[in-house]
Amino acid sequence: MRTLLAATMLAGLFASPSLAQTLKLTEVITSPERTATLKEIVSTFEQQNPGVTVEITSLPWGEAFEKFATTVSAGETPDVVEMPDTWLALYAKNGALENLEPYLEKWEHTAGLNERALQFARAVDDTAYMLPYGFYLRAMFYNKDVFKAAGVEAPPTTLDEFTAAAEKIKAAGKAAYCLRGGPGGLNGWVMFGATMNGDNAFFTQDGTSTFSQDGWVKGLTYVVDLYKNGYAPKDSINWGFNEIVAGFYSGTCAMLDQDPDALIAVDEHLTPEQYGVAPMPKGPAGKAFPTIGYAGWSMFASSENKNLAWKLIAALEGPEGNIAWNKRTGALPIHKSAENDPFYAQDKFKGWFEELSDPNVVPTVMPTDLEEFAFFKDSLVIKTSQEALLGSIAPEDLAKQWAEYLTAAKQKQMGN
């Protein structure tokens, strides 16, 4: 009996540590719906892996860049992190992220990924330091009720029509455009800038930024004028994602450029008869340049449970978890099989698919391969663009500051 008891105790001593494992996961693009969905998928993962616990840390997006950078610099790194495209180069270039290529080589679902998924996964040094979970392509939401009251018959297809619609909507007592003047606002500036410019190239061959060129300056001026002319709400200078979406569904402003993830909140407040989604308006060259972004899951190289961390990423990124995630969070999924899902055949996705099929609509990928881009987007752009909106600096000065910063970053990357 003593021998049996001793054997049982020894078995418990040696078995428990191997079974009880904890993974740390940090999400940075947060909302109540997203966090709830993440917890559901993680809960299923924990049930399928007895003894494994996943600790989730949720950082508010508006503060996530600084907060996460602070925790990393203090050595408090997670096993798995939600990685926005704009942060990827920063963490991949300094060796913080694990190379996922060996895992993707053996994963049974790699062959079923669409081309964009692997292209963006390998955005830095042609190596997969992150696996995207979905894509965010901008299109124009428009409020049909506000349009009707203002006498605007259809969503604008050109910037001239956009300005004309804005004038009518303002005359009817509403704001026309939900300007994102706070965190995450770079997309709007880039889209209007490139569309007015007729080209979305960020650099010339020698690494000089194009932001200070006349076409881009005209586009940046266009955005400043939207605000100065009262076509955007006065307090939108500080708006982030939640504020612009609320501004749209509340009827405060009639048009909103956003990704499919905005559908979650919009559908809670408006019926399909009250709003539509159309392609972004085209500029003088007859082209539009909606930004396309992505986010995904990365593994930190410092993880002591790398195989288990990959197992968690695989659960999040596999067809079942990925499609469930994107249906609830609004991104376009990474698996080819999702294209046959009836969910994406709904009319509300029509604007995005029209953009993807129009040769004169050119999705624009930000220069996220630059190590300095994360600071540019989440710090420098917010400060300087708000100064331009308030009239403290001219659009030309805004363009010059952006061009100088990005030129230095690009030429450093080129070894100049």
Instruction: Give tens-digit pLDDT for 188-199.
Output: 999 999 999 999
Burial class (CB in 10 A: 0-12, 13-18, 19+), 394: middle
For the chain, counts of helices (H) and of strands (E): 18, 9
Question: Does the pLDDT of residue 18 top 50, yes or no?
Answer: no
- Count of other CB atoms within 10 angstroms of residue 243: 21
Strands of the sheet with 275-278, listed across from one edge: 175-177, 253-258, 139-143, 275-278
Q: How many CB atoms lie within 10 A of CB 110?
A: 14
More confident residue, 31 or 87: 87
Q: What pLDDT does 211 receive?
A: 98
- Residue 5 is predicted with a pLDDT of 36
CB of 169 closer than 8 Å to CB of 230: no
Is the separation of the CB atoms in 252 and 198 below 8 Å? no
Residue 65, Cα to own-chain centre: how many angstroms?
Answer: 13
- The Cα–Cα gap between 97 and 77 comes to 10
Whether the pLDDT of residue 257 is over 60: the answer is yes
DSSP state for residue 282 in the 8-state scheme: B
Alpha helices by DSSP H, 94-240: 101-106, 115-121, 144-150, 159-171, 186-197, 214-228
- 136 beta partners: 293
Beta carbons of 182 and 240 less than 8 angstroms apart:
yes
The DSSP 8-state label assigned to residue 251 in this structure reads: T
What value, to the nearest 5°, has the Cα angle with vertex 159 and ends 158 and 165?
Answer: 90
Do 78 and 57 contact (CB within 8 A), yes or no? yes
The neighbouring-strand residues paired with 80 are: 25, 299
Q: Which CATH fold would you assign to the domain 2-136+293-348?
A: D-Maltodextrin-Binding Protein; domain 2 (3.40.190)
Locate CATH 3.40.190.10 in the chain: 2-136+293-348, 137-292+364-414
Q: Is a pLDDT exceeding 50 seen at residue 13?
A: no
Burial of 152 (0-12, 13-18, 19+ CB in 10 A): buried
Question: Is the pLDDT assigned to residue 3 strictly greater than 50?
Answer: no
pLDDT in tens, 301-342: 999 999 999 999 999 999 989 988 988 887 888 898 887 788
Element (H, E) at 379: none
Taken as a whole, the chain contains a residue count of 416
Q: Is the pLDDT of residue 15 over 50?
A: no
Distances (CA, A) of 77 to 23, 133, 197, 366, 371: 11, 21, 41, 26, 19
Residue 280 sits at φ, ψ, to 5 deg, of -65, 145
Closest Cα to residue 367, out of 359, 356, 376, 355? Answer: 376
pLDDT over 70 for what percent of the chain?
95
Predicted confidence (pLDDT) per residue in 44-102, tens digit: 999 999 999 999 999 998 899 999 999 999 999 999 999 999 899 999 999 999 999 99
pLDDT of 14 over the 50 cut: no
Is residue 9 pLDDT above 70, yes or no? no
Beta-sheet strands, E only, within 47-194: 52-58, 80-84, 131-137, 139-143, 175-177
Q: Which helix (H) or strand (E) holds 256?
A: strand 253-258
**117/132 Cα distance (integer angstroms):** 6
Would you say 174 and 252 are in contact if contact means Cβ atoms under 8 Å apart? yes
Q: What's 137-292+364-414's CATH class? A: alpha beta
Q: Does residue 12 have a pLDDT over 80?
A: no
- Give, to the nearest 10 degrees, the angle between helix 186-197 and helix 381-389: 70
**199 DSSP assignment:** -
Nearest to 318 by CA among 329, 306, 333, 330: 333
